[in-house]
Structure 1
């Protein structure tokens, strides 16, 4: 019984880390940018995080080298952790971390548009199409706010719109990298025997190292390192950097990977709904940026769109199936004569046990 309680507690803690820590990284990037140039920030963050994660993997005895896996990890890391994160970091020089978090949540739009093998399924689903329309509406609202705000100088407005366009390109890069990883992994699993592929932690370490090297090269070419003086960095900004490395890149990611192993992926994906809310709250309480009504409405619309675009996945989720099963059983109890209720419960328990066995077999196959 104690073991079960510990397991539930661990799951709750892991969810809190993924929900709150990942949501807060947008805010801490903005804080760190007070002292760190954008590409120096990315360079230091991912070089340290990648080195630490690689060292951890080596201590655990994981296999570190596999040419084909490293090649894939380098490509995916370049798109996911360099292109997307560079867009996020660069954009936060000009727009608030709250707006950045909302636009990042709208990444689901590009998954629907760019996932060609699933076009037939996606574009024949009414909830998905509605979600797509809602998503675009939410994003357009955020752009419209920047265009129509008369109190902001024209030059600043133009820079803000450019930052939002750059960020949108970054989310497209994230989507392409994710889809490549998804389909490449499927084709590899058909060709390779089980156990030959690198551990997911090792692959991520290579992705972080790749991003760190890419950020470092750009920072050197742009002259950011030559003009960067570490002695002028405020203590609070070093704290933000340490938080991004240890909490954002190491702890939150490890919690996310662990949750994917013990909970359904559709349930774990709910972090996408919580992260922008956390980011907006931090912006409201701890920065000078104003969280406008239009931003809150835009966030609401984007989150509804994400829900609709994932509706087909959520409705088939085990948790939702269990809830529907309980509702049917409750209705059946009310309809049945009292003498038949014990038999209904007995049958329901048997079916539940059979369902658990089937789920375990499915998990073992996966």
Structure 2
């Protein structure tokens, strides 16, 4: 329960939230700059091989051993890594070749809505707020996919790739609590990246991409380095700190703040258009995500006291 979470100093919570908002919100911009001269799948693969190696290496040094996962944990990390990082972030990078960064962020923001859909398919009963959020959210997705919301010659294929990315990430998120993973979240992330990274490079090479670093522009290099460091390590560390030192309702606000940050940065730095269709669709999706996350937190808050009472009744 949230009141059981040890609280950190307010100023530290504020700093970590700011890091999460600005860094993760700006990764969409960085991806857009990276794919200007770096092949998307191979570039994403390099990003996660390096970041995953650093995260796993850090965990290995702290534990003073290299084999940190058992077979079940490795299987869980591989499955979720392929879905969330390979499918979700890999397809996001591919889609941003033709889709503006702000619009891409709004499409990816629909991910919690797809998770709620999979829960419905699994015959779980969501709260009314979740159902209302689904209707509002998918209305927003339709507005974004409609030609009037593009604000320019955006490839429809790119938008479909981004929808597939959101669905892949949602499937991975749906299965995450249903598979065995290491208790150390940093270790889990490192293992997931080390599985997905080489896979993305292999798929990129099979698709005809060429890894020619000498042909990459300076801007793309800096974007890649930013995605490896702050984008894959610093922001994730801030999220883990917040989840253990702040209420989950505060820690997960990035889900609806980051798209707004991405829209603003894309408009300011890359001169991306903010059409009425994009703004309306984005507002619907962000509103829906707030409703869905609120409804799911209410379900969790109701289940935990019941589970505690059940366990107390069984204690000797």
Question: SS state of the match for residue 196, structure 2?
Answer: helix
Which of 118, 137, 144 lines up with 1:142 in the alignment? 144
Q: How far does the alpha carbon of each residue in 1:304-352 deviate from its partner, in whole angstroms, 9 at most, with x for none?
A: 111222233456899xxxxxxxxxxxxxxxxxxxxxxxxxxxxxxxxxx
Cα distance in 1 for partners of 2:192, 2:280 equals: 35
Q: 1:343 matched to which residue of 2?
A: none
If you compute each CA radius of gyration, which structure gives the higher value, 1 or 2? 1
Partner residue of 1:76 out of 69, 80, 88: 80
Distance 1:148 1:255 in 2: 34
* Alpha-carbon contact 2:49-2:194 (below 8 Å) kept: yes
Per-residue deviation, 1:295: 0.9
How far the C-alpha of 1:9 sits from its partner, in A, is 2.1
Aligned to 2:304: none
Q: Within 5 A, what are the aligned runs for 1:46-65?
A: 46-61=48-63, 64-65=68-69
Give the paired residue count: 296
What TM-score results when the alignment is normalised by the length of structure 1?
Answer: 0.75
Choose which of 267, 271, 274 in structure 2 pairs with 1:284. 267
Counterpart check, 1:301 vs 2:296: no
Confirm or deny that 1:271 pairs with 2:257.
no
Q: 2:19 aligns with which of 14, 17, 22?
A: 17
Please report how far the alpha carbon of residue 202 of structure 1 lies from its aligned counterpart in structure 2 after TM superposition: 1.3
Aligned residue number for residue 172 of structure 1: 167
Quote the residue 1:33 is aligned against: 35
Report the Cα distance in structure 1 between the residues aligned to 2:38 and 2:294, rounded to whole angstroms: 41
The answer to which structure has the higher helix fraction is 1
Question: Once the 2 structures are TM-superposed, how far is the Cα of residue 148 of structure 1 from its aligned partner?
Answer: 7.4
2-structure distance, mates of 1:306, 1:51: 33
The aligned residue for residue 203 of structure 1 is: 188
Distance (Å, rounded) in 2 between the aligned partners of 1:315 and 1:66: 34
Q: 1:296 to 1:47 in 2, by over 3 A?
A: same
1:90 equivalent to 2:73? Answer no
Contact 1:78–1:211 at 8 Å: present in 2 too? yes
Q: Which residue of 1 aligns with 2:314?
A: none
Following the alignment from structure 2 to structure 1, what is the Cα–Cα distance between the partners of residues 239 and 225? 19
Tell me the residue number matched to 2:109. 105
Query: 1:60 is paired with a residue of what secondary structure?
Result: helix
1:118 and 1:136 mapped to 2: Cα distance? 19
Distance 1:121 1:38, change over 3 A: same
Aligned to 1:350: none
Question: Which deviations, in whole Å up to 9, do the C-alpha atoms of 1:240-260 show, x marking residues without a partner?
Answer: 111100001000011111111
**1:29-77 deviation digits (Å, cap 9, x = unpaired):** 0011111011121121011101111111112117623111011101110
1:184 is matched with 179
CA contact (8 A) 2:7 2:245 kept: no
Q: How many angstroms does 1:99 deviate by?
A: 0.8
Task: Give ranges in structure 2 of 5+ residues lacking alignment.
Answer: 1-5, 302-307, 309-316
Note if contact 2:100-2:272 (Cα within 8 Å) is conserved in structure 1.
yes
Question: Equivalent residue for 1:332?
Answer: none
Partners in 2 of 1:269 and 1:211 — Cα distance? 24
